[in-house]
């Protein structure tokens, strides 16, 4: 009679070998799938927002609308130019306050100018590049004249000149910021107007804290931003 116990043992051994072989095949297949996934091109793993950022770069197909930020008007462009020019004369003025002023409050105002416009100048250059707006490298002729006046003044004369020139300038640009922010359809300009508004407000307040702002300066600013009807 056949040895059934021996045959059963052989069948079991064969079954074990089949199972082991099957598991080995499955394991190799899994490794190959994982390796193929890991070797996919890096571009396939870039988050979706990265493509939106690429669309905002100048020169891209969407540069006219800056990735949906909105159109840029001539007033928007003029605003960025004015912010840039403000920094180009107010930072030298802030430097002069540290050496020419007799009042500690005026020196403090000068430090606020330096700090505020150093940050704002960096921001305006970044935003202008993003929007394709060309910025000047020099202050206006009038602003350069103000710096020359401040350079020639010392002590109390400098203090009064510094405070009133800068309070008048800030009062006028403050009104321009409000006009731009109220009408712009561009999100970059909206953000820039908010930052500029905070900086200019801080500067007006620290200038007023000196106690040297003349009533005539305030009247001139009021007349400039609210001209009488013709």
Give the pLDDT confidence of 34-46 residue by residue, as tens digits.
344 444 443 333 3
- CB of 169 within 8 A of CB of 86? yes
Across 104-114, average pLDDT: 98
If one compares 41 and 51, the residue with the highest pLDDT of the two is 41
- CB of 192 within 8 A of CB of 127? yes
Kindly report the pTM of this predicted structure.
Answer: 0.70
- CB of 203 within 8 A of CB of 174? no
Tokens standing for residue 28: 């190799």
- Contacts from 27-36 at CB under 8 Å and sequence distance 24+? none
Q: Where do the domains of the chain lie?
A: 4-45, 69-225
**For the domain 69-225, what is the CATH superfamily, name and number?**
Ferritin, core subunit, four-helix bundle (1.20.1260.10)
Query: Nearest Cα to 175, choosing from 201, 136, 195, 207?
Result: 201
Confidence of residue 27 (pLDDT cuts 50, 70, 90): very low
The confidence score (pLDDT) of residue 41 equals 40
The confidence score (pLDDT) of residue 151 equals 98
**1 by DSSP, 3-state: which?**
coil
Give the pLDDT confidence of 214-228 residue by residue, as tens digits.
999 999 999 999 887
Confidence of residue 69 (pLDDT cuts 50, 70, 90): confident
């Amino acid at each position: 009679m056949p040895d059934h116990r021996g045959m059963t043992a052989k069948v079991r051994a064969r079954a074990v070998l089949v199972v082991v072989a099957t598991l080995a095949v499955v394991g190799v297949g899994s490794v190959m799938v994982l390796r193929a996934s890991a070797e996919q091109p890096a571009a396939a793993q870039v988050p979706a927002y990265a493509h939106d950022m690429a669309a905002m770069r100048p020169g891209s197909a969407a540069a006219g609308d800056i990735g949906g930020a909105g159109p840029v008007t001539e007033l928007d462009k003029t605003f960025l130019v004015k912010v840039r020019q403000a920094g180009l004369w107010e930072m030298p003025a802030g430097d002069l306050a540290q050496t020419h002023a007799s009042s500690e409050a005026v020196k403090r105002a000068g430090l606020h100018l330096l700090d505020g416009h150093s940050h704002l100048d960096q921001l305006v250059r970044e935003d202008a590049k993003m929007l394709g707006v060309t910025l000047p490298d020099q202050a206006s002729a009038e602003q350069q004249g103000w710096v020359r006046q401040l350079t020639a003044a010392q002590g109390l004369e400098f203090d009064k000149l510094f405070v009133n020139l800068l309070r008048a300038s800030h009062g006028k640009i403050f009104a321009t910021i409000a006009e731009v922010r109220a009408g712009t359809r561009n999100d970059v300009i909206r953000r820039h107007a908010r930052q500029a508004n905070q900086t200019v407000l801080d500067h007006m307040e620290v200038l007023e804290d000196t106690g040297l702002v003349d009533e005539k300066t305030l009247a001139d600013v009021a007349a400039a931003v609210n001209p009488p009807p013709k």
